[in-house]
Structure 1
């Protein structure tokens, strides 16, 4: 990686209009609508009174595969999506246009042969307004770019999961076709659709998008901790541990400490933790 060029990278603001159809498609991609007569599902999948599902802030105004730009000299084949967070300052609304502004907030060099961590921040604003509606952060593990140099000394602290038994547990089935639907929200990486390319990447079959798994965990938090009221969810963060295969059941364990909920998710069929160190901030009822 060329650290000097990376730090000089400037992102043009990215505007995206989110139509009701976009919002519904995103919700269907994370499995909402499996209970089509349930009003808790219909609030995100039916245009009458439609609400935007909170974790959609992760995918709108996406900058694309910018780390593949040759001048950055990043070994993009070895990139992993390590962590993700969002904070909602004002809920998104269907039919509006939002503008994403990006900045690289830091790089930590773990040493030659040990990779590096890259931290990216997105601020979302409604078009022609100055107030921020959402702040989204992403952490990328650059496994092939150790020895590049650092801009910050310490990584943000990782949220710890309590050692006591979980207070709640929520099980969500993913659809066999989930990745094929979810990719229509903007992530067309072929490992989520092409069986041969998925095998070349080391997976037995196409995997679910990490941010789709995040959406599934958000469903669990919304159902268990927010009484299915999206306006109560203020923030979430988590670490990606392992991929989910479409059709698997994601079981989320949840611990409550006042308005802060810790969580982790595992796949029931393989008993593998797929999302860890989760933290959700919920507004009191």
Structure 2
């Protein structure tokens, strides 16, 4: 068996998901908050600073909408070392609480034949105890060597096209803003404590099976660094003004790399971005953020 196309469009069983204030703090540290100046971003890195209420980084929404601990649905029969995170989007229906409980329902929305591999897209909706949506997250995984079996797609629950299918082109001008962050050599070891224990990010032998000479940084860690840059630049650090984000992972990042987030304003409440490493390699492409 290769990929199981019969999964497409069939919602999985709802899975409970909860988090505490400490989880939000650990996540913030894992995506670099406070690393360059511990006295900055205290709303995201502490819970008992005088006059500063704890808040949650918007990109934590991706973790809040992950169905962990429930029955795993096998996408097919393939080497997991050949799977890489290809794209990620989320939409916040309301600001994230510091601690919360949700029910997460995930649906494979597409298995797309890309020739040398397959792109598998999944949508996850996190709802509160009253059944109200809190987060809608969409992710894409590229599985190398699984192309050639055709494509199957289903409509998303919100009726919207996949964020990755929206037209996008880099503006023909200098960025309106440029933010530079340095990741730590042990960044992946810190970020994995938020739940993603994939050995691709810690085990040299496993990383070699995926074609890398050493473990790579989690794509969602780079995504979180980027989200911090967008939050502070576009939203005056106010999570209530951050509504949605999409990015395509185009190249791996290694722990210790410098990240450069280039940002172009594209209307009153929308901006485009690319994240690069210091040598100019684009590592998150086709970025779109919606804010107020």
> TM-score w.r.t. structure 1 length?
0.88
Matched, 1:152 2:153: yes
Residue of structure 2 in register with 1:59 after alignment = 63
Residue of structure 2 in register with 1:141 after alignment = 142
Partner Cα distance (1:96, 1:64) in 2: 15
Judging changes above 3 Å, is the alpha-carbon distance between structure 1 residues 2 and 198 closer, same or farther for their aligned structure 2 residues?
closer
> TM-score w.r.t. structure 2 length?
0.86
Judging changes above 3 Å, is the alpha-carbon distance between structure 1 residues 101 and 227 closer, same or farther for their aligned structure 2 residues?
same
Partner of residue 122 from structure 2, selected from 120, 123, 129: 120
Judging changes above 3 Å, is the alpha-carbon distance between structure 1 residues 65 and 21 closer, same or farther for their aligned structure 2 residues?
closer
Aligned pair count reads 277
Judging changes above 3 Å, is the alpha-carbon distance between structure 1 residues 66 and 83 closer, same or farther for their aligned structure 2 residues?
farther
Could you tell me which runs of 5 or more consecutive residues in structure 2 were left unpaired when the two chains were aligned: 155-160
CA RMSD of aligned residues (A): 2.5
Residue of structure 1 in register with 2:32 after alignment = 31
What's the offset of the Cα at 1:67?
12
Q: Is the 8 A contact 1:14 1:61 kept in 2?
A: no
Judging changes above 3 Å, is the alpha-carbon distance between structure 1 residues 2 and 265 closer, same or farther for their aligned structure 2 residues?
closer
Q: Stretches of 4+ moved more than 4 A in 1? A: 64-71
Residue of structure 2 in register with 1:280 after alignment = 289
Matched, 1:263 2:259: no
Greater mean alpha carbon deviation, residues 116-125 or residues 10-19? 10-19
What's the offset of the Cα at 1:69?
5.9
What's the offset of the Cα at 1:148?
2.3
Partner Cα distance (2:179, 2:116) in 1: 36
Q: Deviations 1:12-61 (Å, cap 9, x if unpaired)?
A: 222122111111000000011222212xx110111132111110111235
Partner Cα distance (1:70, 1:228) in 2: 39
Q: Deviations 1:153-177 (Å, cap 9, x if unpaired)?
A: 9972353221222111011111222
Classify the secondary structure of the residue corresponding to 2:171: coil
Partner Cα distance (1:277, 1:61) in 2: 22
Partner Cα distance (1:265, 1:186) in 2: 24
Q: Deviations 1:189-215 (Å, cap 9, x if unpaired)?
A: 112122343344332322110000000
Partner Cα distance (1:151, 1:99) in 2: 27
Q: Is the 8 A contact 1:236 1:278 kept in 2?
A: yes
Residue of structure 1 in register with 2:130 after alignment = 129
Partner of residue 84 from structure 2, selected from 76, 80, 84: 80
Could you tell me which runs of 5 or more consecutive residues in structure 1 were left unpaired when the two chains were aligned: none
Residue of structure 1 in register with 2:237 after alignment = 228
Classify the secondary structure of the residue corresponding to 2:135: strand
Residue of structure 2 in register with 1:102 after alignment = 106
Q: Is the 8 A contact 1:67 1:74 kept in 2?
A: no
Partner of residue 248 from structure 1, selected from 252, 257, 267: 257
Classify the secondary structure of the residue corresponding to 1:107: strand
Q: Is the 8 A contact 1:124 1:135 kept in 2?
A: yes
